[in-house]
Chain A
Amino acid sequence: EDQVTQSPEALRLQEGESSSLNCSYTVSGLRGLFWYRQDPGKGPEFLFTLYSAGEEKEKERLKATLTKKESFLHITAPKPEDSATYLCAAVSSNTGKLIFGQGTTLQVKP
């Protein structure tokens, strides 16, 4: 069964304290690994798509990486405005559907 698991569930950082969020996936024939940011009361906002192991993408303080079993979202020197829930999702060739993890809620304190 296709599955996506994120850890930790919640993460509290001081401003400037770099860290990583983990997304482990078990899907049949990965067709895309997606990262979204979701603010309270809002819909998910697209961040990155990764398609093959070894691929990396960056945007401001965020960098997403992909291996054959997991993806990491690295946050460098975070700011309070980076506080949000980060969702990981995978598409398998088996179903073609976007399967989400439960999210990691990040809080960055000034």
Chain B
Amino acid sequence: GAGVSQTPSNKVTEKGKYVELRCDPISGHTALYWYRQSLGQGPEFLIYFQGTGAADDSGLPNDRFFAVRPEGSVSTLKIQRTERGDSAVYLCASSLGGRMGETQYFGPGTRLLVL
């Protein structure tokens, strides 16, 4: 079946602008995760959804970052008043049930560049 998909694949924006990044998880997966990956580093956790609710948002760096998953499937990561330091690859992953230690499957990522 189809894997995790993310759109857009690349996004260039100007400092101060608002951006939305979309993630479509594997069909039937109830858990969805967002990560941020800087160059030469491993992914860092941002937020975890179980169904429609954010079960853990402790990785969001500040209140400019917000994510939603209104129908328990597609999720949108929203970044307000973007800063140059927000430039990174934003990865989405999903897992079947969200149990601890369950395998997470990643999408291709959205490469965000803030000028």
Q: Please say whether chains A and B are actual partners in one complex.
A: yes
Q: Write the residues of chain A forming the contact surface with B, with a CB cutoff of 8 angstroms.
A: 4, 31-32, 34, 36, 41-46, 49, 51, 87, 89, 91, 93, 96-103
A103 and B42 in contact, given A42-B108, A43-B108 (Cβ under 8 angstroms): yes
- For the complex, is B14 an interface residue (Cβ under 8 Å from A)? no
A17–B101 CA distance with the chains assembled, in angstroms = 33
Which 3 pairs between the two chains have the least Cβ-Cβ distance?
A100-B42, A32-B101, A31-B101
Out of A43, A45, A100, which one reaches B44, CB within 8 Å?
A100
Q: Tell me which residues across on chain B come within 8 A of A102, comparing CB atoms.
A: 40-42
Out of A42, A51, A89, which one reaches B42, CB within 8 Å?
A89
A89–B33 CA distance with the chains assembled, in angstroms = 15
- For the complex, is B104 an interface residue (Cβ under 8 Å from A)? yes
Total count of chain B residues near the partner, CB < 8 A:
24
Count CB-based A-B contacts (< 8 Å).
Answer: 58
Q: Tell me which residues across on chain B come within 8 A of A101, comparing CB atoms.
A: 42
Do the beta carbons of B109 and A43 come within 8 Å of each other? yes
Residue of B nearest to A87 (CB): B42
A57 CB, min distance to chain B CBs, angstroms = 12
Q: Tell me which residues across on chain B come within 8 A of A97, comparing CB atoms.
A: 45, 48, 56, 59
Most buried by A among B33, B40, B42, B43: B42
| Interface residue ranges of B79-106 to A (CB < 8 Å) | 91, 100-106
Q: Tell me which residues across on chain A come within 8 A of B45, comparing CB atoms.
A: 97-99
User: 14 A-B Cβ contacts within 8 A?
Assistant: A4-B42, A32-B101, A32-B102, A41-B111, A42-B108, A43-B109, A45-B106, A87-B43, A89-B42, A96-B56, A98-B33, A98-B104, A102-B41, A103-B40
A43–B43 CA distance with the chains assembled, in angstroms = 10
* 19 further contact pairs, Cβ within 8 A, besides A32-B100, A96-B100, A100-B42: A32-B101, A32-B102, A41-B108, A42-B108, A43-B106, A43-B107, A43-B109, A45-B106, A46-B103, A46-B105, A51-B101, A87-B42, A91-B101, A93-B100, A96-B56, A97-B56, A100-B44, A102-B42, A103-B40
